Every structure is written in structure tokens, then in C-alpha cells.
Amino acid sequence: MKLEKIVDSMRDDIIKATQELVQVRSIEGNPEPGAPFGNEIRRCLDKSLDICRELGFKTEIFDGFAGHAEYGEGDEIVGILVHLDIVPEGSGWSHDPYGGDIADGKIYGRGTIDDKGPAAAAIYALKAVVDSGVKFNRRVRIIIGCDEESGRWGCMKHYFKHAEAPMCGFSPDADFPIINSEMGILIFNLEKEFEPNEDSRCGGLRIKRIQGGNKVNMVPDYCECELEMKKDFTDRVIKTVEYMKNEQNMKLEMEIRDDKCIIKSYGISAHGATPGKGVNAISQLISCICKLPLCVSEQTEYVNFLNSSIGMEIDGKSFGVAMSDEVSGNLVFNLGTIDMSDKKGSVGINIRYPVTKTGKEVYDIIRRKSSEAGIKVIEGNGQDPLYVPADNFMIKILQKVYENVTGQKADLISIGGGTYARAIKNAVAFGPLFPGKEETAHQKDEYIEVDDLMKCTKMFAEAIYELVK
């Protein structure tokens, strides 16, 4: 009860801190000295550490890769791992994505739920425990990363080369109650270089370019294709687009400019770990153009492969990688980006695979099917699965906290997302999204409810108290 009252007294400060962090457009930029992920991310990191210093915490920054704020004494460290980098805002917002506007009890903006609001909650949760007067028998570190969304985690790799690793902790970057299972993650490109094709006998539509998607771990909400018409296929294109709109419920637009046709596809953005909550603009567009009379070419073969092997699926079935287990469920497949010209095609794929499987198992299938089509698999970032047994001491403590604060049972759940919990031992994801609440991370009009932000702060304060007393 004492901690709850202390947190309530900080309400305005918690909201203000969240807004100040959201107002920095901390998207990955060009590396600069002291700012390896770009100046805006560094500015957001500095702002977070300024807040921590004002609250009396010891702070340290690690060459701009990451930072931490610490309080307490003892040989052991409890870590709370958050991140300040964000994915691009995308389109279609009804609020300024960097305004931190408050409406209907919600703070709107990119990063409010993922992960700036939770970062502010963790900072003030630690302050609440300090103000409660409890004796700290362990140190608490809020570890602030700057390269989570890329999947590379260069921030954590650099940080743990120069700093002690916590003996336990949690990352408030997913869902409540407690996530003890995180699926493995693969990020890769499917690429093919095209031979020049100047066959004047081609009587169909020639693909000049296709571009779409912002990040591989986002469901793309926009994609655009330019087609060159050697003959007038206007009526055919119009009928095909209208059919896809009316019969397949796709949001498409088209423009005819002399001998060029532009087709635009509009989807709904969502997190790459939950593509079923979005609509994939790239997959829509490819499905549409594959119904047109395209020239026989390597470009056409490439998009036909994407359509037949991926299409609108999110389980990898047609690619041959559909798999599941009892712990974490079905594999998740997201086609996140496409950049295709008349010289080369490249699509970015993000896969979340079950915890009892291995990345090698998935890659073996991907390579075999791709090679048959003359397509190269270019491996990118990846993360092994996380699984923390139910009898782990951290889970027992967090179950107690969650049930005391909410009065609800603290079930263990599995997600396709990847959190910093993978970076240390004895760690799980803990919040900030409460059961039954709308998931808006990586979507337009991302928000966090003010009441939930306060409840998170109280939850984190109780967890810190239990871990340090």
C-alpha cells in the first residue's frame, strides 16, 4: 500500500517522462562518433539518463551504445532491461506520432507501449522503492538499450563487454502476466539478380520496380509497383484491380501514365511477431500483379515464386516450414520488405520458430526451396529461443507480485516476439500489455493507457521491492 501511494504521487512526472521520450524520433540513423545508432537515438538515451540523474541514480553511458541507471548496494545485480529505439511511424496516424498527445486517457505516439512508456515506468518504480526506505541488499540497474528493433542488439553486445551481467531480471517489453517462452527469430533476405531482358517481342506488362515495407519486423502497410506496358492493357489492369478490391477485399489504387501503370497497395501495420493482426500490403500487391499478363522474364519468375511460396500466408506452409510445438505454438512467417528493380529483387523475411526447434532446421528448408528457384538466402540477424522453467525463482517472485497487484492468476505464456530477457540469465518478459488490451506496438496510433502506465509502475515497484529486500 505504501508503494502504491508513492507511485500515485508521481503520476504527473511519469506521464511527462513518457511524453519527453516519445517526442524524440529515435529511429536508427547514420552512425556518428558517440552515436553508433544515429544522433536521435543518442539524444533519447541522454534524455533518459538525465531523468535518472535528477532522481538521484548513478548513471553511466557506454560509448553511446547503451547506458544504465543504478541504485543500491551488494554484489548481486537485478536488471531491468528496456530500449529506446523505435520502428518508423508508417502512415495513417490520427495523432502526431511524436507529440505524446493525451486523449481519452491514452498517451499516443510511436514508442509509448514499445518501449518508452515501460522505460519511464521502470525508472519511477525504482524511485518509488528508494523513497519507501527499504534497505537494498542488491543493486538494481535499469539497463537502457538503443538497438533492439533492428534485431542486431549491438547495444547489448557492447554493453555486456564492459559491464557486469545481472544475476536475474526482467524486460517490460511484451505482455503480462509472465512470458517464460520466446520463439527463435530468423531475419534474412531472399535475393536474385536478373539477366538483362530487352526482348522487344514481349507483348505483356514488364515489371520495372516494386518497393514496400519499412522494417522486416513490421507488417508492411504500403507497397507500390511500376509496370511498363508495351501494349495498352488498361482495361485488363482495371478489371483485375477491381476484382481484387471487390472479391478479395484488398485496398488497391492504380494510375496510368502514358505507357506506365502504377499500382498501389495499402495494408495495416502490425508487429512482425503477430502478422495476423495486420494486412500485408506487399503480399496483396504481388497477388494482384501475378494475375496480370506479365512478360516472360526472371522478374516475373521471382514474383511468381513469392506468390506461390508465401502469398498471404503467415505460417510458412507453402514454403515448407510450417511447424509447431506445445510450448510455443505455430511458426510465424512475415514478409516485411521488398526492393525490386529490373536488375535485382530482394525481400526481407522475419520468422519466429518454436522453442523446441532450431534455426538450422528452418534454414535448411528455406535454402533448399529457394535454391530450386535460383534464389539466394542472405542470412541476417537471429536469436535462439528463450525458455525459463516454471519453477525458476524469478517466475515465482513475479507470479506473487502480479497476483497481489491484480488479484488475477499469473499464467505463463509464450510469444513470438524477442525481448532483452534473452540477454541475461534468470530473466523473463514482464509487461507492459495487460490481458485483453489492444496491441498497438508497431501500428499506427500506438498508445499506452495512462491507468495502465501507472499500474505497470506499481507492478515494477513491487517486483523491485521483492527482489532487493
Distance CA 206, CA 228 (A): 5
| Catalytic-residue membership of 148 | yes
Report yes or no: 416 and 331 within 8 Å, Cβ to Cβ.
no
Domain with CATH 3.30.70.360 in the chain: 185-383
Distance CA 26, CA 103 (A): 23
Residue 232 pLDDT? 76
Report yes or no: 252 and 288 within 8 Å, Cβ to Cβ.
yes
Which grid cell is 308?
506461390
Residue 135 pLDDT? 94
Distance CA 299, CA 206 (A): 8
According to DSSP, the residues that pair with 448 across neighbouring strands are 107
Q: Which residue has the cell 504527473?
A: 12
Query: Is the model's pLDDT at 99 over the cut of 60?
Result: yes
Q: How many CB atoms lie within 10 A of CB 60?
A: 14
Pairing of strands 184-193, 178-182: unpaired
Between the two ends of the chain, the Cα-to-Cα distance in Å is 16
Query: Is the model's pLDDT at 312 over the cut of 60?
Result: yes
Question: What percentage of the chain carries pLDDT values higher than 70?
Answer: 98
Query: Is the model's pLDDT at 379 over the cut of 90?
Result: yes
Set 28, 40, 85, 115: catalytic member: 85
Q: Regarding the domain delimited by 2-183+386-468, which CATH topology (the fold level of the hierarchy) does it fall under?
A: Aminopeptidase (3.40.630)
Residue 410 pLDDT? 96
DSSP letter string, 46-102: HHHHHHHHHTT-EEEEETTTEEEEEE--SS-EEEEEEE-------S--SS-TTT--E
Report yes or no: 331 and 363 within 8 Å, Cβ to Cβ.
no
According to DSSP, the residues that pair with 460 across neighbouring strands are none
Question: What percentage of the chain carries pLDDT values higher than 90?
Answer: 91
Mean pLDDT (the chain, rounded): 95
Give the pLDDT confidence of 110-167 residue by residue, as tens digits.
999 999 999 999 999 999 999 999 999 999 999 999 999 988 999 999 999 999 999 9
pTM of the full structure: 0.86
What is the residue type of 329? Answer: G
Give the pLDDT confidence of 153-199 residue by residue, as tens digits.
999 999 999 999 999 999 999 999 999 999 999 999 999 999 876 55
What is the residue type of 172? Answer: P
185-383 CATH:
3.30.70.360
Q: What is each CA distance from 282 to 266, 267, 269, 384, in whole angstroms?
A: 9, 8, 11, 28
Distance CA 26, CA 144 (A): 13
Domain with CATH 3.40.630.10 in the chain: 2-183+386-468
Q: Where are the alpha helices (DSSP H) in 164-277?
A: 234-247
Who contacts 372 (Cβ-Cβ below 8 Å, separation ≥6)?
A: none
Task: Name the residue among 343, 348, 332 with its Cα closest to residue 189.
Answer: 348
| Catalytic-residue membership of 85 | yes
Report residue 202's pLDDT band, with 50, 70 and 90 as the boundaries: low
Set 28, 148, 182, 191: catalytic member: 148
Strand order in the sheet with 184-193: 251-257, 260-266, 222-229, 205-212, 332-340, 344-353, 184-193, 376-383
Strands (E), 249-331: 251-257, 260-266, 324-325, 329-330
Report yes or no: 178 and 463 within 8 Å, Cβ to Cβ.
no
Query: Is the model's pLDDT at 233 over the cut of 90?
Result: no
Give the pLDDT confidence of 31-51 residue by residue, as tens digits.
999 999 999 999 999 999 999
